[in-house]
Amino acid sequence: MDKPAPHPRFRGRPPRSALQLTEQEIRQSYWRYSNAHIFPQKALRADVSVQRYAVFPRPYYVDMLKTCVECSRAFIFYAREQHYWYETLGFYIDVDCVRCVECRRKQRAAKRHMERYAELQARDSLSRKEMMHFVDDCIFLFQQGQLKNLSHLGSIKNAALQQIPDYAGTKTLQLLLQSARTIGEIS
């Protein structure tokens, strides 16, 4: 097995748990633990009074080895991270971690770019700074495959050439569109 992806906040070797639980006790305590690759020696007692659950609370948090649905890398969903998710952030107890830290970070960045893009797209006019952000968002979203309409991107490029011709992002968008159109002509 490959080494699990590192976590910036929960990396390192946490101390062994003071709880004296068997693996079977942990597995029977919560349905998601039954088939998971768990590390019982790192179990933490949960405060079920602050958990959000429909039927059954999760009495313990335990480090779990998972596989990222985006990049297929192994990562550990740490007991301390679960404690933070379910007791501090108030996530519903059956929410599962399916992406490694790096892919979660990328997903949040893409969401921020898309939200800002949508907000700026809806405006009638943009300031110079807003146009720079708009161009940057277009570049990011195009490179991520989320924006595909070349004629729409061409209109944005033309507006950027008029308003911010000296901005490096304008030149980058221009080159990306030229490259995409060239590839489109070849294939």
Q: Are residues 28 and 80 in the same domain?
A: yes
Of 77, 38, 36, 43, the residue nearest 60 (C-alpha)? 43
Q: Are residues 120 and 137 in the same domain?
A: yes
- Same domain assignment for residues 85 and 119: no
Residue 151 confidence (pLDDT):
92
Are 55 and 77 within one domain?
yes
Query: Does an H or E element contain 102, and which?
Result: helix 101-121
DSSP for 173-184, written as a single string: HHHHHHHHHHHH
Q: From first to last of the 187 residues of the chain, give the pLDDT tens digit.
A: 567 766 666 665 555 566 888 999 999 999 989 999 999 988 999 999 999 998 889 999 999 999 999 999 999 999 999 999 999 999 999 999 999 999 999 999 999 999 999 999 999 999 999 999 999 999 999 999 999 999 999 999 999 999 999 999 999 999 999 999 888 754 4
Same domain, 92 and 143: no
Query: Is residue 4 domain-resident?
Result: no
User: What's the domain range around 80?
Assistant: 23-99
Q: What is the pLDDT of residue 3?
A: 72
* Residue finishing a domain among 83, 99, 115: 99
What does the pLDDT read at residue 123? Answer: 96
pLDDT of residue 183: 82
Distance CA 85, CA 81 (A): 6
Judgement on whether residues 53 and 108 belong to the same structural domain of the protein:
no
- Considering the domain architecture, whether residues 55 and 127 belong to the same structural domain is answered as no
Distance in angstroms (rounded) separating the CA atoms of residues 51 and 53: 6
Q: How many domains does the chain have?
A: 2
pLDDT at 187: 44
Please check whether residue 87 lies inside any domain of the structure: yes
